[in-house]
Structure 1
Amino acid sequence: MESPKNFCQNIPKNNPNDDDLPPIAVVMVPLPAQSHLNQLLHLSQQITSHGIPVHFASSPSHNTQAKLRLHGWDPQSLKKIHFHDFDLPPLMSPLPSTNHGYSIPFPPHFYPLFKAATHFREPICNLLQKLSTMFKRVVVIHDIIIASVVQDVKNIPNAESYSVIPISAFTLFFDFWETMDQKPFDLNESDIPKCIPSKQGCTTPEIDEYVATQFEFLGLESGRIYNTSRIIEGKYVELMEKLTPKDEIKHFALGPFNPVGLEKIDCKINTKRHPCLKWLDQQENDSVIYISFGSSTSLKDEQIRELAIGLEKSEQKFLWVLRNCDTADVLTQIESKSPQLPEEYEERMKNRGIIVRDWAPQLEILGHPSVGGFMSHCGWNSCIEGISLGVGIVAWPMHSDQPRNAVLITEVLRIGTLIRDWDQRDELVTSCMIEKAVKMLMDTEKGEMMRKRAVELGNDVRRSVDEDGVAYSEMKSFIDHITR
């Protein structure tokens, strides 16, 4: 970690109440990984829509990555955000690997990147120091697991910080709860699912140590921001509030950060649409299952083969995003082996399925009327997008927070089915297991009830962002608070 040096010591004198200064600027500090960049850039769009300037700080390549992969918004809206490019120190990051059994733990090649990102502390401090002389108040919104780089906010009189929780409130609560030797209150039986998966096998020891070090800098923030809605998991946001009383840290459930107005829309007039959307246009409503495992998962060839055969045996239509997980710098061309399908597979499936090997517009896919199901790793971005667009989920957690997110999906919200228990994570997921799970969601009465609940929950979430809805009120409360 960085030395304990305080970078922000010589703050230029200014009067935060100077009437000539604009009232507020927001500084976004994401962890430089796709799922984290994506969440904070979505939130940046939400905040700029209220007329508040946002400064987004990361490395040049990660800022470019975030902008290139953003979807669901008018591209012109990015012009409202000020991007700050801070160079990372040189880092040796290994290629993504699938040579770690079938459990697919957290990809270790991200660890050097996360460590390198802690060197953003000094340029972030310089940026905050500069903005503090230009605005009455500077609000720093940072990923909870890059808290060390904003620690100097405490030395800036007219600045305050808020940490963003990039996982579900459900997962965060049980992560915190199980570490407490003395429980501060009793839980109702209805609060606890039958089985909370072990965290064993979810991350590497290096990542655990990194996260623990970042958590040492928590407590400096004025509040916590959740990419969730009280409509989805209000009970667990309230439990987090009980763990940290409101007079110490305020809690704001501002999600979904992603736009939710894409459901069942007709985008055929957009000539720049991804080709897979044009394929979806030709399919019947609710007939396609979408398969994607996010930006941090690479499957072994043997597992890809089983998945391919399982989809073929299921006799369901599918759209499958088949790609290796991200490298530390996705803009740098690195030679790596492409995922291999069974021989002549795509030819056999040409009338029933489509394979996408590049970055896919997930929001538009999930919002397409032809999509009736989602096979997902249950990263929180994918979960919240699937929920807000009303799509039932086949849950196949791989690592990190995903096993516990999967429990929220399958046992608490009951909008999906689990492809296999986390205890069996070291075993190959066979084609028969895949066939069974896909058919269950897409072609059984039980699956139809799950999908119906997903549609109803998605409708509730979308109504909540309308004026006077729960999410609308929560965002208004946050904007009123930071502009007070």
Structure 2
Amino acid sequence: MEKKTCIAMVPCPGHGHLIPLLEFAKLLLRHHSHDFNVAFLIPTVGPPSPSTIAIINTLPSNIHFTFLPPINIQDLHLQSPHPVPQMILTVRHSLPCLKQELSSLSSRTNLVALVLDFFSLDALHLANEFKISSYIAFSSGAAALYFSLSFPKFDESRIFQIRFSFPRTSDVYTAYLSACKKSPLVDGIIVNTFNHLEPEAIRALQQGKELHTPSPSVYPVGPIVAQPKQKSEVDECVAWLNHQPSKSVLYVCFGSGGTLSQEQVNEIAFGLELSGHKFLWVVRVPSEIPNSGYVIGQTEDPIQYLPPGFVNRTKEQGLVVPSWAPQVEILAHGSTGGFLSHCGWNSTLESIVHGVPMIAWPLFAEQRMNAILLTDELRVAVRPQGDEEDGIVKRDEIAKVVKRIMDHSEEGLEMRKRIQDLSDAAAVALSENGSSTKALSCLAHEFLNKSI
């Protein structure tokens, strides 16, 4: 019996990196289900979250998954709690188990390719060992990819500190630089964007413009976002939205693990209340570290950290939910009129696809680049200004930007029109003859050529 052609995919730990890769696999198989099976080999630092398990259980039968044995985070000897070194070191410590799983796959299937997250590139040598092609599934946009490919050739200290605010001696810097240096060694890079969204960055990547190094093939196949669940599967957030007026609710969420200080949480609470607009807020336990919830989840109830009386005072105005909410269903809902976002790339694409203008509130890393794209180039977002002394965005400023995006002003209406145009362009890119569908087809043919 002829072995089925198989593609192995290795995400790094973190919900925001696993989900785009899962959605890419589903998109690939939606168009080429008769050609491939996909096997996910997932490094971990603990048991998968209930939301991850729920998503895994909905996958089609030709997507298989294996959770690699969890790594003890104490064994990573981290200098900082930043997720980048955590993710890279977790993959590195998982390499022996990963090699065993690839060996098993190779014996049972026609294994042709290894698709890695940008922060899983320590596994790149395994593609050579098993004589298969290698690809990066880049979870951010084309501009961030261009920066990453260019980064080792730049004045590393100056550029890195401008963009990411980390010293050259930090473990974050070392981990990021290591991934950047490995990136040009793959056969191709799959990037979750589309031509209309980032035309200049995509063109520069495909032409290898000013990269000063041989560049892999680049496949812009996005926007890849999760599809909303059927109405029968909705939860309390969607049930609440069903009773709100059209475009009346501001959705507030800082990604799958972004966190704010206690003082900033307080100011957001008072700012939302002061704005008078309806809101749906996903609250997390405060932390001075803005990415503290990404790799290891929080267990405390975050509602207790809100200002006294806030939930009761605003019970007719808003809904506060702890830690997690069904974001795609919320953004797709007709009652959602704005999104206060950390500008992570997944959230950015989901907001664009569903035509929801944004309040840009980046926390770290490439989110600042994404915020500039949204506010300055695409003009589909506004950005609040922090206090000059302590950087905290005060309640009056928060109320002001909420009103700018949610009021039926000329500025707000123009933003809605621009983001709806982007949403339409995204649909065209994913249509039968769209640019992203063509790029996906080229990639699939490349996979198949490896199987001959």
Instruction: Check whether TM > 0.5.
Output: yes
Call closer, same or farther: CA 1:120–1:216 in 2, change over 3 Å: farther
Of 99, 114, 122, 1:125 maps to 99
Call closer, same or farther: CA 1:394–1:197 in 2, change over 3 Å: farther
Aligned partner letter, 1:89:
I
Of 118, 135, 144, 1:144 maps to 118
The residue matched to 1:57 in structure 2 has which SS?
strand
Call closer, same or farther: CA 1:200–1:247 in 2, change over 3 Å: closer
The residue matched to 2:183 in structure 1 has which SS?
coil
The structure in which a higher percent of residues are helix is 2
* Partner in structure 1 of residue 142 of structure 2: 169
Give the Cα separation in 1 of the matches to 2:95 and 2:342: 32
Residues 37-73 of structure 1: CA distance to partner in whole angstroms, max 9, x if unpaired?
11111112222322221111114646556633649xx
The residue matched to 1:55 in structure 2 has which SS?
strand
Q: Is the 8 A contact 1:107 1:297 kept in 2?
A: no
Give the Cα separation in 1 of the matches to 2:398 and 2:20: 30
Aligned partner letter, 1:68:
I
| TM-score, with length taken from structure 2 | 0.86
Give the Cα separation in 1 of the matches to 2:68 and 2:435: 37
* Partner in structure 2 of residue 188 of structure 1: none
Q: Is the 8 A contact 1:203 1:399 kept in 2?
A: no
* Partner in structure 1 of residue 254 of structure 2: 293
Q: Is the 8 A contact 2:71 2:94 kept in 1?
A: no
Deviation at 1:78, TM superposition (A): 4.4
Give the Cα separation in 2 of the matches to 1:442 and 1:211: 38
The reply on whether 1:33 has 2:6 as its aligned counterpart is no
Q: Is the 8 A contact 1:93 1:110 kept in 2?
A: no
Give the Cα separation in 1 of the matches to 2:207 and 2:140: 18
Call closer, same or farther: CA 1:468–1:25 in 2, change over 3 Å: same
* Partner in structure 1 of residue 40 of structure 2: 56
Residues 194-243 of structure 1: CA distance to partner in whole angstroms, max 9, x if unpaired?
xx993243699221211212333333311001011112113211112222
Q: How many matched pairs?
A: 428
Deviation at 1:248, TM superposition (A): 5.3
Of 179, 183, 193, 1:214 maps to 179
Call closer, same or farther: CA 1:339–1:304 in 2, change over 3 Å: farther
* Partner in structure 2 of residue 456 of structure 1: 421
Deviation at 1:128, TM superposition (A): 2.6
Q: Is the 8 A contact 2:151 2:180 kept in 1?
A: no
Residues 424-450 of structure 1: CA distance to partner in whole angstroms, max 9, x if unpaired?
695111011111111111112112211
The reply on whether 1:257 has 2:199 as its aligned counterpart is no
Deviation at 1:378, TM superposition (A): 0.4
Give the Cα separation in 1 of the matches to 2:271 and 2:240: 21
Q: State which drifts further: 55-64 or 365-374.
A: 55-64
Call closer, same or farther: CA 1:309–1:66 in 2, change over 3 Å: closer
Give the Cα separation in 1 of the matches to 2:225 and 2:257: 20
Give the Cα separation in 2 of the matches to 1:181 and 1:206: 19
Call closer, same or farther: CA 1:373–1:34 in 2, change over 3 Å: same
Q: Is the 8 A contact 1:24 1:139 kept in 2?
A: no
Deviation at 1:337, TM superposition (A): 6.4
Deviation at 1:177, TM superposition (A): 4.7
Call closer, same or farther: CA 1:401–1:62 in 2, change over 3 Å: farther
Deviation at 1:172, TM superposition (A): 2.8
Aligned partner letter, 1:437:
V
The residue matched to 1:231 in structure 2 has which SS?
coil
Call closer, same or farther: CA 1:82–1:248 in 2, change over 3 Å: same
Alignment of 1:388-399 (within 5 A): 388-399=353-364
Give the Cα separation in 2 of the matches to 1:360 and 1:249: 37
Residues 372-404 of structure 1: CA distance to partner in whole angstroms, max 9, x if unpaired?
110000011111111111111100011011111
Give the Cα separation in 1 of the matches to 2:191 and 2:145: 10
Q: Is the 8 A contact 1:289 1:317 kept in 2?
A: yes
Call closer, same or farther: CA 1:427–1:322 in 2, change over 3 Å: same
* Partner in structure 1 of residue 65 of structure 2: 83
Give the Cα separation in 1 of the matches to 2:223 and 2:381: 19
Give the Cα separation in 2 of the matches to 1:290 and 1:335: 22
Q: Is the 8 A contact 1:107 1:296 kept in 2?
A: no
Call closer, same or farther: CA 1:113–1:177 in 2, change over 3 Å: closer
The residue matched to 1:140 in structure 2 has which SS?
strand
The reply on whether 1:156 has 2:117 as its aligned counterpart is no
Residues 53-101 of structure 1: CA distance to partner in whole angstroms, max 9, x if unpaired?
1111114646556633649xxx54344321112113322299xxxxxxx
* Partner in structure 2 of residue 432 of structure 1: 396
Q: Is the 8 A contact 1:301 1:339 kept in 2?
A: no
Q: Is the 8 A contact 1:169 1:228 kept in 2?
A: yes
Give the Cα separation in 2 of the matches to 1:339 and 1:411: 37
The residue matched to 2:103 in structure 1 has which SS?
helix
The reply on whether 1:280 has 2:280 as its aligned counterpart is no
Call closer, same or farther: CA 1:287–1:341 in 2, change over 3 Å: same
Q: Is the 8 A contact 2:303 2:322 kept in 1?
A: no
RMSD: 3.0
Aligned partner letter, 1:172:
L
Give the Cα separation in 2 of the matches to 1:197 and 1:476: 39
Give the Cα separation in 1 of the matches to 2:325 and 2:389: 27
Aligned partner letter, 1:168:
G
Q: State which drifts further: 246-255 or 339-348.
A: 246-255
Give the Cα separation in 1 of the matches to 2:10 and 2:360: 30
The residue matched to 2:385 in structure 1 has which SS?
coil
Of 220, 223, 236, 2:201 maps to 236
Call closer, same or farther: CA 1:150–1:197 in 2, change over 3 Å: closer
Aligned partner letter, 1:47:
L
Q: Is the 8 A contact 2:152 2:180 kept in 1?
A: no
Call closer, same or farther: CA 1:113–1:473 in 2, change over 3 Å: closer
Give the Cα separation in 2 of the matches to 1:328 and 1:70: 17
Deviation at 1:474, TM superposition (A): 1.9
Segments of 5+ residues of structure 2 without an aligned counterpart are 286-291
Give the Cα separation in 2 of the matches to 1:466 and 1:428: 43
